[in-house]
Amino acid sequence: MVFAYLILIGIYFYRFYFSIFSFSFRLLLDLQDSVQPTGCFTETKRTRHLPYVYHTVKGKIDKKYPDILAVYDECKQKAAEYSKPIEIFGIWNFKQCVTTETGRDDAAYFESARNSGKCKTCQGKGIGTRQAVFVYKK
């Protein structure tokens, strides 16, 4: 009986220390992330501030509960692998990775774009819907 209690105590300590370690590791990775979220902006098919689609995430995306971090990671990776340097990119319509025609940060973009509350977010990252784009800057 005592042995069973010792095993249970060991399991709880293991889970506690493992959760602290994994949280610290994720926090360290976030500190090393050179990409900063800028915000959610209105974007429609007629008024596209980020008109160039450089990648479309493959597969079906659940629009009610999308895997935001996976889509963000894929768009970020494809931006890093792209032939031209991409300084600003966004995620529009749940799975389209978009940027400006040059890939450069355009200050005029933020003067003309309107804030939107129609993005889906998780842990500080986000993706846009049909009417919005979530923008990131390097």
Q: For residues 93 and 129, is the Cβ–Cβ distance under 8 A?
A: yes
pLDDT of res. 21: 42
Each residue's pLDDT, cut to its tens digit, for the chain (138 residues) gives 666 655 656 555 555 444 444 444 444 444 457 899 999 999 877 878 899 999 999 988 898 899 999 999 999 999 999 988 899 999 999 999 999 988 988 777 777 788 999 999 999 999 999 999 999 998
Q: Minimal CA–CA distance to 69: which of 123, 132, 133?
A: 123
Q: Could you tell me the two tokens for 27? A: 């926090």
pLDDT of residue 23: 43
Alpha carbon distance 58, 23 (integer Å): 29
Beta carbons within 10 angstroms of residue 123's beta carbon: 10
Domain boundaries, the chain: 1-32, 36-137
If DSSP codes are grouped into helix, strand and coil, which group holds residue 87?
Answer: coil
Three-class secondary structure of residue 20 per DSSP = helix
Give me the pLDDT at residue 84, please: 86
DSSP label at 105? -
Q: What's the pLDDT at 26?
A: 46
DSSP-derived 3-state class of residue 4:
helix
CB 64 within 8 A of CB 94: no
Cα-Cα-Cα-Cα torsion 107, 50, 52, 58, nearest 10 degrees, comes to: 130
Length of the chain measured in residues: 138
